[in-house]
Chain A
Amino acid sequence: MLTPEEKIRYDRQIMITGFGVDGQEKLKRARALIAGSGGLGSPAAIYLAAAGIGTIRIIDHDKVELSNLNRQILHGDKDIGRKKIESAKEKLGQINGSVQIEALHETIDENNVDELTAHCDVIIDAMDNLPTRFLLNKAAIKHRVPFIHGAVYGLEGRAMTVIPGETACLGCIYQGAPPKVKFPVLGTTPGVIGTIQATEAIKFITGIGELLTDRILIYDGLKMKFSEIAVKRNPECRYCGKMNI
């Protein structure tokens, strides 16, 4: 049940066709895992908190550095040296104090990924490296939890939503990862993509609209345009290939 204050707070989104009080209550009951509180995780977390999601489980093992601040908008000057999850929890609490924040200072790896992704309604891939993205994709497939991928490079961003067993997953479209290198990025690029990821999470939870499935959305900030590539599940995918199509 929504409180009278919540009905006022979320009035403008409750007004959206198909959203309604029912959608807001679904959001209130939901838990989103945000893997990473950097460039993508910051806008995704901010908009999910503002929208009134019940619980955000945010995971990051880093501390805030000066070089993060062009894009990681959950953190500011006074946070340098703090654990990112502490800074994130503080900011998200300021935005919406009714959202439960599970802030975990962890490195996601093979040993803990199942535990960290347990009991979540949706997983937002806001990592800064491909091996962990594949690990999360694998866990999402295993637990059949929707996985919302986002990635950036410079002024290019990509996003895709994965419904395990139904739509193409990360392994269907990418075969492997190049060596990790420092990547260029303008802060607005993860701003765009992280916001799209939050939108997808809200749509999935509330059941409105059409999800970004079986298509890769590509944002080209240099040319300021969006494009899509239609993709299909790969029967030979190393992650989801054995699931029924």
Chain B
Amino acid sequence: MSINVNLAAYLRQYAADKENVSVNGQTVRECLDALIKQYPKLKDQIFDKDNVLLPYVSVFAGGEIAYAGKLDKPVQDGATINILYIIGGG
């Protein structure tokens, strides 16, 4: 299944400045793994050493947040996953 992953601006520097990346996967986790396979530098920006989603990274699939522990949520062909890195500047 082809899934479109949108990367927050901050994360693009770890993905050859790509804004969107097309990946294959059945679940959010599989899609993130496929993304990291293409751009390994993203791993430390998205997951901690124990491969748990960092608390300041939000992954949205179908408008719903997928937390650490809920990455097994299935995704549909053609779906979009958004990865946001929290920003707090003012």
B65 in contact with A153 (CB, 8 Å): no
A216 in contact with B84 (CB, 8 Å): yes
Which residues on A sit within 8 Å (CB–CB) of B88? 127-130, 133, 151, 153, 177, 180, 183
Complex CA distance for A133 and B56, rounded to whole angstroms:
14
A220 in contact with B9 (CB, 8 Å): yes
Given contacts A175-B56, A222-B9, A234-B65, contact A153 B84 (CB under 8 A): no
A152 in contact with B58 (CB, 8 Å): no
Q: Is the interface of B mostly helix, strand, loop or mixed?
A: loop
Which residues on B sit within 8 Å (CB–CB) of A40? 90
The smallest beta-carbon distance between A179 and chain B, in angstroms, is 9
Which residues on A sit within 8 Å (CB–CB) of B90? 36, 38-41, 125-129, 150-152, 190
Complex CA distance for A153 and B90, rounded to whole angstroms:
8
Which residues on B sit within 8 Å (CB–CB) of A156? 8-10, 87
The smallest beta-carbon distance between B4 and chain A, in angstroms, is 13
Complex CA distance for A190 and B89, rounded to whole angstroms:
9
Closest to A214 in B: B63
B1 within 8 A of A: no
- B residues 12-66 near A (Cβ < 8 Å) are 19, 54-56, 58, 60, 63-65
B58 in contact with A173 (CB, 8 Å): yes
B79 within 8 A of A: no
Which residues on A sit within 8 Å (CB–CB) of B68? 175
A99 within 8 A of B: no
The 4 A-B pairs with the shortest beta carbon distances in the complex, nearest first, are A176-B55, A130-B88, A153-B87, A183-B89
A-side residues, CB < 8 A to B, are: 36, 38-41, 125-130, 133, 150-156, 158, 172-178, 180, 183, 185, 190, 214, 216, 218, 220, 222-223, 227, 229-232, 234
B-side residues, CB < 8 A to A, are: 6, 8-10, 19, 54-56, 58, 60, 63-65, 67-68, 82, 84, 86-90
Further 15 A-B residue pairs, CB within 8 A, beyond A126-B90, A130-B56, A177-B56: A125-B90, A128-B90, A151-B88, A153-B87, A173-B58, A173-B60, A175-B56, A176-B86, A177-B88, A185-B89, A190-B89, A229-B63, A231-B63, A231-B64, A232-B63
